[in-house]
């Protein structure tokens, strides 16, 4: 059975991804950090539904902690699917942004991508099959006022995915990005629905299941020839 690691699996979007991948027959490792108990609840829900899942807790911004945690995971064999979903935002205009606001957002998305993905690559390469999916945002494509740090962090994932896709293409490993817009149950919960209606051509936010469905496709055998792509799920945005 192939194993999948989903960072930020304790959140609304991450949890939906975990449940969908379990339905696809993957053994899912649900990652959390400050929400370790929620990650275990997601894993328990999957197990009670007949799937296979475990939970794990570590800080993706801590290189040593990530390396140690993933070394323990790899004792049971390679991770074939990696979904880099962990992310935070700390908004404000750049003129008034603190360095800590900048660093926190970049650390989770960008350094977190390296800290999680790099230790898993050689076992994946040896198995000659793998799927890496980065969860980004349309903001990484279009930009957004008050989110220079978030846009920079997410755009970095786009470049990293395109470059890594070239490195791994001959090894049967694909690397892609999903760039959602507003997502119900995610960060869009703090946005006035009228703003979404006025901004999004389809007049609504995406559901977490719609995001999870796109992930499920990209990690499937049917998507074996899709790599280095940025898939916007924004209802017309992006």
**Annotated catalytic residue: which of 150, 165, 188, 196?**
150
Question: CA-CA distance, 234 to 182, in Å (whole number)?
Answer: 7
Residue 122: which residues within 8 A CB-CB, separation 6 or more?
none
150 is catalytic: yes
Catalytic residues: 150
């Amino acid at each position: 059975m192939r194993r999948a690691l989903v960072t930020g699996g304790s959140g609304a979007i991450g949890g939906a991804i975990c449940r969908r991948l379990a339905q696809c027959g993957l053994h899912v490792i649900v990652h959390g950090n400050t929400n370790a108990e929620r990650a275990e609840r997601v894993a328990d829900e999957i197990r009670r539904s007949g799937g296979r899942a475990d939970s794990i807790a570590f800080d993706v911004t801590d290189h040593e902690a990530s390396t140690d945690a993933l070394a323990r995971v790899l004792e049971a064999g390679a991770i074939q699917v990696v979904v880099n979903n962990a992310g935070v935002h700390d908004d404000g205009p750049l003129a008034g942004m603190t360095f800590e606001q900048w660093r926190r957002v970049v650390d989770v998305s960008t350094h977190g991508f390296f800290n999680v993905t790099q230790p898993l690559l050689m076992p994946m390469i040896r198995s000659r099959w793998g799927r890496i999916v980065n969860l980004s945002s349309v903001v990484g494509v279009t930009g957004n006022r008050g989110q220079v740090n978030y846009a920079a962090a997410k755009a970095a994932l786009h470049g990293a995915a395109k470059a890594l896709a070239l490195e791994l293409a001959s090894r049967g490993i694909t690397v892609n990005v999903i760039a959602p817009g507003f997502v119900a149950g995610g960060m869009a919960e703090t946005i006035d629905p009228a703003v979404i209606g006025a901004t999004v051509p389809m007049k609504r936010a995406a559901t977490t299941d719609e995001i999870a469905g796109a992930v499920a496709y990209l990690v499937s055998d049917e998507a074996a020839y899709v790599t280095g792509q940025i898939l916007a799920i924004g209802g017309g945005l992006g």
